Amino acid sequence: MYPEDLKYSETHEWVRIDKGFATVGITDFATKKLTDLVYVELPSIGKRVTKGASFGVVESVKAVSDLYSPVSGIVVKVNEKLSKEPEIITQDPYGKGWMIKVKIEDQTELDTLMDSEEYKELVKKEKKE
């Protein structure tokens, strides 16, 4: 449920790192919490995102949730498909449901992210609450 090759943030985003670029999406746990997604708002290519700051929102019928960037950098690719079919995020959160690709500015930011084991613990804790 939480692939081992990914890094995770406390706000339930995942990051796949590939030669200085980070692909970002939200975790399976996050999609379940949000229920039926109806809309995603993502930044445009060329925009700078900052670690910990909102880079977009996902909406269900009665809730809006911010998406927080796990890394800082310039957006180089955006998953345009999601605007028409936001349900892809729920169906395949770690694959076709990716959201943005960012050129990483500061590699050390990655150190603060969790690995899959640590993230699993966090989810367990949140479920209890």
Partner 1 sequence: MTSYIPNTEEDQKEMLKEIGVKFIEELFNSIPQNLRLKTDLNLPSSLSEMELVNELKGLSGKNANLDEYVSFLGAGSYDHFIPALVDHLSDRSEFYTSYTPYQAEASQGFLQATYEYQSLICQLFRMDICNASLYEGATALAEAVILAHSVNHGTKVLVAKTLHPEYRQVLTTYIKKTLDLSIIEIDYENGVTDLTKLEEKISKDASCVVIQNPNFFGCLEKVNEIEEITHQVGSLYIVSVDPISLGLLIPPGDYNADIAVGEGQALGCKLNFGGPYLGIFTSKRKFLRKMPGRMVGETTDKKGRRGFVLTLQTREQHIRRERATSNICTNQALNALRAAIYLSTLGEEGLAQVANLCLQKSHYAAKRIYQIPGFEPTFTSPFFKEFAVRCSISPHKINKLLWNNKILGGFDLGRSYPELENSLLFSVTEKRTREEIDKLTLLLGDIA
Partner 2 sequence: MREPLIFEKSRRGRRGCSLPEYDVDEENLEKLIPKKYLRQSGLGLPQVSEPDVVRHFVRLSQQNMGVDTNFYPLGSCTMKYNPKVNEGIANLPGFTRVHPYQPQVGVQGTLRVLYEMEKLLCEISGMDSVSLQPAAGAHGELTSLMMIKAYYEDKKEHRDTVLVPDSAHGTNPSSSHLCGFRVIEVKSNKDGEIDLNDLMGKMSKRVAALMLTLPNTLGLFERNILEVSKIIHDKGGFLYLDGANLNALLGIVKPSDLGIDIMHFNLHKTFSTPHGGGGPGSGPVGVKGRLAVYLPVPTIKKDKKGYYLNYGRAKSIGKVRSFYGNIEVIIKAYCYLRSLGKEGLKKISHNAVLNANYLMKRLKKYFYLPYNQPCMHEFVLSAVDGKMKDVRALDIAKRLLDFGFHPPTIYFPLIVKEALMIEPTETESKETLDAFVSSMIQIRKEIKEDPSVIRQAPHNLSIGRLDEVKAAKELKLRWEEKESGD
Residues in contact with partner 2 by the rule CB under 8 A: 36, 38-39, 59-62, 86
Which of the listed partners (partner 1, partner 2, none) does 105 bind, with a CB threshold of 5 to 8 Å by partner kind? none
SS3 call for 78? strand
What torsion, rounded to 10 degrees, do the Cα atoms 5, 123, 56, 50 define?
-60
DSSP conformation class of 98: -
- Minimal distance, residue 12 CB to partner 2, in Å: 19
Contact 7, 115 (CB under 8 A): yes
Letters for 36-55 (x = contact with partner 1 by CB under 8 A, - = none) are ---x-x--------------
Using rule CB under 8 A, residue 64 touches partner 1? yes
The answer to whether 55 and 100 are in contact (CB under 8 A) is: yes
Binding residue (CB under 8 A) for partner 1 from 46, 61, 80, 127: 61
Write out the residues near partner 1 by the rule CB under 8 A: 39, 41, 59-64
